[in-house]
Amino acid sequence: MATVHGPKLIAGNSNLKLARSMARRMSLHRGMNVDLVDARVERFNDGEIFVEVFENVRDEDMFIIQPTSRPANDALMELLIIADALKRSSASRVTAVIPYFGYARQDRRSKARTPITAKLVANMLEKAGIERVLTLDLHATQIQGFFDIPVDNLYASPIFALDVKHHFKDQMDNLMVVSPDVGGVARARDLAQRIDAPLSIVDKRREKAGEVAEMTVIGNVEGRTCLIVDDIVDTAGTLCKAADVLMENGAKEVHSYITHGVLSGPAVDRITKSVMKNLIITDTIEATDAVANAPNIRIVQTAPIFAQAILNTWSGTSVSSLFSTKSLSAIYEGIYDCS
């Protein structure tokens, strides 16, 4: 019987930079070199995706690193085809590491004759032979229930808490955490509790879908440094408007902590011209040149927490333990001053 020496990583093309960072972090954690499995993920002239794995993966515990971000359909198909290739090559277990879970916003029927695409994607992943999913900040936590396999949903708020304590250590008594809508209160409250700050809410009222007619701030933000917290920023229109409303209500300055920087269309231009001092996003979605060069956009690393989560999954130890400040501080030591 083959001896399993450790978890093996393989990646699609969606965010190779993050995949390589995870491998490097695992090398540091384990004290031995961890590399991505040698494979090619290519396209034929008509756009069909082809995968070939060049290493033996029989009886190996495989982890596919592939956020299903832009272009979402290509990224998803790459993930499914890699999974099929691994199962047909006799891998013992296949785990999908999906830092950004695309189609998560289609988690319910918002009107008649519409799909629940997040459930469809869950079915496709299971049919492809994936036996476990590891992701970060699902848009709706109930999506875990769409799967009949284990789903580990990591949270960005503990990482953001370390970042806030590092970059705002002289302003901790004046911070105000802000949820940009009522639906995101739980996420914002978690960060507020971790940094011991009060919580405010921006209440949005819509006259029609996709168009915000009015915003009202619930809570006193006057003189405060406000931190807007959310999971996804796409075109950034609502986010920038929320920042404007906070400033109009007397906020000293506004920063935003958003997990997934989709940042499509006019988003970067809007953020650059916004009253927001900084937008902080994670690297779950590979940054475009425009995002990387934007003066008020900063990127937080997720490779440390994903690398440790992969090791914990492989060794059968707790993944939820990573949410504790003590555990995370050790993982992010050298990146943040966690004293």
Q: Which residues carry out catalysis?
A: 204
Asked if residue 67 has a cis previous peptide bond (ω within 30° of 0), the answer is no
137: phi then psi, degrees, rounded to nearest 5: 45, 65
Q: Rounded to an integer, what distance in angstroms lies between the CA atom of residue 64 and that of residue 17? A: 14
First to last CA, the chain: 47
Pairing state between β 225-233 and 39-43: unpaired
The per-residue b/e assignment along 167-189, b for 16 or more CB within 10 angstroms, e otherwise, is ebeeeeeebbbbbbbeebeebbe
Q: Rounded to an integer, what distance in angstroms lies between the CA atom of residue 253 and that of residue 21? A: 33
Residue that has been written with the tokens 């590399």 in this structure: 35
Using N-to-C axis directions, what is the helix angle for 72-88 and 117-127, rounded to 10°? Answer: 20
Pairing state between β 49-53 and 39-43: antiparallel
Q: Rounded to an integer, what distance in angstroms lies between the CA atom of residue 161 and that of residue 60? A: 36
DSSP string, 141-207: GGGGGG-SS-EEEE-SHHHHHHHHHHHSTTSGGGEEEEESSGGGHHHHHHHHHHHT--EEEEEEEEE
DSSP string, 199-213: EEEEEEEEEETTEEE
Virtual torsion, Cα 165, 170, 176, 177, nearest 10 deg? -20
Q: Rounded to an integer, what distance in angstroms lies between the CA atom of residue 208 and that of residue 274? A: 24
